Amino acid sequence: MSAATPPTPSRRERPARKPVERRAFLRASLIGSVSAGLGGFALGALGFLWPRQGDGLFGEVILGNARDLAERIVGERRPVLVPEAALSIISWDPSDGIAAGAYGGQHAVVTDSVGLMCLDTGACPHLGCAVPWCQTSQWFECPCHGSRYNKYGEWTGGPAPRGLDRYVSFIDGEGNLVVDLGSPVTGPARTANALEQAREGPSCVDA
Ligand code: FES
């Protein structure tokens, strides 16, 4: 008489899992959310504290022939970036009464219908990240937390408290655009979009 062979299991037995205790689960969730919050804060603080390009320039700075700059901006449909001063030059239309009322006194006027404005794109008003231009949307879009600004630096979305800050600028006697880095102008309030401009294509940054 042969000994009975134990039945072969059809699949591997897994060791029984211990149920996750509610308290341990809550503790892990709390640690995860605090870590994520601190990580976001640290990133923002780094962006704010990191030395910006342009921190070495002061006072009035000549940026080039105003008419040439305006022609280039309009022709290429993009701002002229001035990395040394951490700013972007955009064009606007002073013949538009609303625009003239909102921006006319502080920004350069080249002709009756062409003005120039120097936006501080080196420091997002949210936590200080640089804000690059997005050619497809024709907006400025912040890669850090997704704030967006139209091509005039007016706030269109995201956590930033206002539009992009800017600097006083003017045309000198030789036709040059001059920016006064000693005269910053606080960006327009979220609700004060004088030059409303809709997005013109896909965004470069996920919201
Ligand atoms: S730094 Fe936060 S949205 Fe720009």
Give yes or no for a contact between 160 and 147, defined as CB atoms under 8 angstroms apart: yes
High-pLDDT (> 70) share of the chain, %: 72
Q: Check residue 107 and give its pLDDT.
A: 96
- 103 band by pLDDT with thresholds 50, 70 and 90: confident
Which of 76-80, 88-92, 102-106, 141-145 has the lowest average pLDDT? 102-106
Residue partners of 155: CB distance under 8 A and separation at least 6: 147, 148, 149, 162, 163, 187, 188, 190, 193
Q: How far apart are CA 88 and CA 142, in angstroms?
A: 14
CA separation for the pair 52, 86 (Å, rounded): 7
What pLDDT, on the 0 to 100 scale, is given for residue 25? Answer: 46
Q: How many CA atoms lie within 13 A of 203 on its CB side?
A: 15
Which pLDDT score, from 0 to 100, does residue 23 have? 57
Is residue 17 pLDDT above 70, yes or no?
Answer: no
pLDDT value, residue 36:
46
Q: Which residues contact 89 (CB under 8 A, 6 or more apart)?
A: 63, 69, 73, 79, 80, 82, 116, 117, 118, 119, 177
How far, in Å, CA of 130 to CA of 48, rounded? Answer: 10
d(CA 170, CA 174): 11
Q: Which residues surround ligand 1 with Cβ inside 6 Å?
A: 47, 124, 126-127, 129, 142, 144-147, 158-160
Domain boundaries, given as residue ranges, for the chain: 60-185
pLDDT of 35 over the 90 cut: no
Return the amino acid letter for 186: T
| pLDDT in the model for residue 190 | 93
Which of the residue ranges 91-100, 102-111, 162-171 has the most confident prediction, judged by mean pLDDT?
A: 162-171
HSE-up of 25 (CA within 13 Å, CB side)? 5
Give Cα 204 distance to the centre of its chain.
Answer: 11
How much is the pTM?
Answer: 0.74
Q: Which atom of ligand 1 is nearest to the CA of 127?
A: 1
pLDDT for the residue numbered 21: 57
pLDDT tens across 140-152, in order? Answer: 999 999 999 999 9
Q: Tell which one of 43, 50, 124, 141 to mutate to probe ligand 1, the residue whose CB is within 8 A of the most ligand atoms.
A: 124
Average pLDDT over residues 191-195: 84
Kindly tell me if the per-residue pLDDT of 55 is higher than 60. no
CATH number, domain 60-185, options 3.40.50.1110, 1.20.1540.10, 2.102.10.10, 1.10.10.10: 2.102.10.10
